[in-house]
Structure 1
Amino acid sequence: MTSPFDSQSDLPMILVVDDELRSRESLRRVLDQEFQVLLAESAGQARELLEQHVVAVILCDQRMPHVSGIEFLKEVRERWPGVVRIVLSGYTDSEDIIAGVNQAGIYQYLLKPWLPENLLNTVRNAVESQSLQNHMQRLDLELRAGTPALRRRSRETLERVRDTFDFSRIVRSPGGPLDAVCELAARVARYDLSVLLLGESGTGKELLARAIHYASPRASNAFVMENCAALPDTLLESELFGHKRGAFTGAHQDHIGLFQRANGGTLLLDEIGDTSPAFQVKLLRVLQEGELRPVGASSTVRVDVRVIAATHRDLEQDVATGRFRSDLYYRLSTVSLGLPPLRERTADLMPIAKKLLDDARLELDLPNLHFADDALASLIGYPWPGNIRELRNEIYRAAALSEGSQIGAHSFSWRVMQGQGRNTNDIRLSPPTGTLQEQLDAIEATILKESLLRHRWNKTHAARELGLSRVGLRQKLRRLGLEEAR
């Protein structure tokens, strides 16, 4: 049997199981950029490959002849439990999803048609999950020996993690709006109070929640999170509270919920504002009484969990309209912390962008990469509706597409590249002083630059958009002094 990393390429091995040739080839083309890819058209062929290779992740189609993807992955779970299992399906049958979670222990359920970047991110995370799981199993075996040296290593590991998520490591400019947020979070972290994090998606609520956990007396216990908007009520209740075997169709074994897994630690309930009133009643009972009843169980289970909730919604408004229960809101919001969007933290933009570029340089092995001036202009001029998450995606994308050691504005997506031209929009709102012709020239220059930016300085396309000939566009650029503006 070969190792999970081939001696020639040292890349993780992915097994794709799909009875459709076109689907297999599409998956291979996307995945073989970063992984070794094995292809199987049937469960039988996949078994043979699993016996010959140590596979990191398996992607299996749900609807296949003779045996379904869930049935096959259930067998994989029993025979090769270390393989991370992902289901691909064009159907959203809830019974299939429940069966996949309970019987096959699937890592993720991806719907067709999938997006290449989403697929790559899912597989990257699955490979990392397997690597971390293997590492934790080795640590667990070592720690059972109980030697002083291993206990010291455990303490040192915890200290490194606490240092990684220390409030001082949250990137921001001195004196910025996040200083007050982090100061208050650090003060309440050591007390067992519920915390409600408010802010738009991508503003860093999860990072702040982790900082609170690792600054608290619960730091040595688990930090667990769940996105409440990602699951319907029935699955969310099962995921958080657990269920007993036979509680519903597809529940073939007991399932321990996240509240129990986080016992003694912290549970982050992300997007709590998107839960239904019916679920809110059940959650309130757990928070008030400190005990839960798994679905289908006859007795309750005591839990000791600090809950941090997060949402992008205006919960006070939702309470006023009856969409969110007031008693649950007051239970969750002992301390409320609001994270401002990136567009209101202009001084923080450059430190965050440089930190993300440092991360990209390290992960993509591009040690000499840096921003060009026009790239910085685009970053500053763009309003970042997706906040830090969008900024990270754009910087990693630009790093991957850049040629040479510079990231130029043309490496960003079209919408961000317009950021470079946004500052010049002020010309239209507040025309420059001077003669009428000078003011008209300034406005015309702005329009020309924006069009060229949209078309990545392709003058043929820009001229077509503006209704000019290519020669006419060049003449205008020369007259306005924009020939070298790029």
Structure 2
Amino acid sequence: MTALPTILVVDDEQRSLESLYRILEDDFDVKTALTIQEAEQLLQQEWVQVILCDQRMPELTGVEFLKQVREKWPDVIRMIISGYTNSDDIIHALNDAGIYQYISKPWHPDKLIHLLKNACQMYDLQRQNESLSVELKRLSTHVDKSITAKREKLRDSYLLKDQLSINGKECRDDGIVRTSESSMNDVCEKISRVAPYDVSVLLTGESGTGKELAARKLHYNSLRWDKVFVVENCGALPDELLESELFGYKRGAFTGAVEDRVGLFERANGGTVFLDEIGDVSPAFQVKLLRVLQEGEIRPLGSGKTRHVDVRIIAATNKHLETEVREGRFREDLYYRLAAVT
């Protein structure tokens, strides 16, 4: 059997208390008090959800008492019942005591029961909201810890470990497994030296030589290791689609844009963006990338406002960008922004 919600009725007139008790007892667990002292004692002993208090009491007014209740038992829903409709009383009740409802006499029993049921429901909703807030906070903390642990594990995989032996050969493993005589050793050592500095890096080399792996090593050895690392292949998309992917867009910016979308630059705020095949982007799109590097600003498609982003850009290409610059296919200013370290 479901327990009835508990309400406390406070009135200095015995007949009024008895009348209210008879009307409400079928729907509520009714507690009654003739004095403020009795009411406070019941509040200390019982789990009360709603107080229905008469405004004209000998010790304190109903508003003055409920103001004290608000301070001591803030979760309890407070209601005033009165035969007087003084506007000042109503205003003070709403402002000072946080009254849920000011009920004027004469009242109709069915309406009073309905108002009290609504008040009890509001109490339950407040409690549920508090519980959910606590659970959400715990979940958020758990998720944060889980994400941090996974990022730490990723970071550890890109830190230099003890030397190991594979097929009798002495090898190194810092996310890039290689022998002690490998030509990649110099590259990996340079990456380790450059990683902590918050500068753009341009990686060059043929396809399949591990440029993305090097980019990840740069990220996880940097001060941004605990933030997002995102990858975009610039050579695989036309300008319009690439712009929407990197910069995002507003609803209605183009056909099919049915909702706002956050771009990769904004999603990676605080972290690192790896732009693969940067040598394939058009001159028109190069201008937009230059603004990100120079000003740290983006403007989503369809938006009139710019947004600030804080990202480290690592770019890669299998083209010889210096030649591309000389032949006018790649902007010189963008090249030097990207190639702070090569």
Q: Give TM class, smaller chain.
A: 0.5 to 0.7
- CA pair 182-244 structure 1, distance change in 2 beyond 3 A: same
Are 1:183 and 2:176 an aligned pair?
no
Are 1:160 and 2:148 an aligned pair?
no
Aligned to 2:335: 329
RMSD over equivalenced CA pairs, Å: 2.0
Are 1:263 and 2:269 an aligned pair?
yes
Aligned to 1:232: 238
Give the number of the structure with larger relative contact order, counting CA–CA contacts within 8 Å between residues 6 or more apart.
2
Letter in 1 for 2:156: D
- CA pair 208-322 structure 1, distance change in 2 beyond 3 A: same
Q: Could you say what secondary structure the match of 1:146 adopts? A: helix
TM-score, normalised via structure 1 length: 0.39
Percentage of identical aligned residues? 60
Q: How far 1:159 sits from its partner (Å)?
A: 2.1
Higher CA-based Rg: 2
Equivalenced residue count is 195
- Kindly report which structure 2 residues correspond to 1:391-406, keeping only aligned pairs within 5 A, or say none: none
- Kindly report which structure 2 residues correspond to 1:431-442, keeping only aligned pairs within 5 A, or say none: none
Aligned to 2:141: 146
Q: Distance in 2 between matches of 1:143 and 1:203?
A: 44
- CA pair 224-152 structure 1, distance change in 2 beyond 3 A: closer
Are 1:272 and 2:278 an aligned pair?
yes
Q: Distance in 1 between matches of 2:253 and 2:144?
A: 41
Q: Distance in 2 between matches of 1:245 and 1:145?
A: 29
Q: Which runs of 5+ in 2 are unaligned?
A: 1-134, 161-173
The answer (yes or no) to whether the contact 2:152–2:226 under 8 Å persists in 1 is: no
How far does the alpha carbon of each residue in 1:298-323 deviate from its partner, in whole angstroms, 9 at most, with x for none? Answer: 10010000000000011011011011
Q: How far 1:152 sits from its partner (Å)?
A: 5.7
Q: Among residues 195, 206, 215, which one is paired with 1:200 in the alignment?
A: 206
Q: Which runs of 5+ in 1 are unaligned?
A: 1-139, 337-486
The answer (yes or no) to whether the contact 1:143–1:151 under 8 Å persists in 2 is: no
The structure in which a higher percent of residues are helix is 1
Letter in 2 for 1:244: K
Aligned to 1:37: none
Give the 4+ runs in structure 1 shifted more than 6 A: 140-143
Q: Distance in 1 between matches of 2:204 and 2:212?
A: 11
The answer (yes or no) to whether the contact 1:165–1:207 under 8 Å persists in 2 is: no
TM-score, normalised via structure 2 length: 0.54
- CA pair 183-255 structure 1, distance change in 2 beyond 3 A: same
- CA pair 320-247 structure 1, distance change in 2 beyond 3 A: same
- CA pair 141-196 structure 1, distance change in 2 beyond 3 A: farther
- Kindly report which structure 2 residues correspond to 1:455-466, keeping only aligned pairs within 5 A, or say none: none
Q: Among residues 297, 308, 313, which one is paired with 1:307 in the alignment?
A: 313
Aligned to 2:255: 249
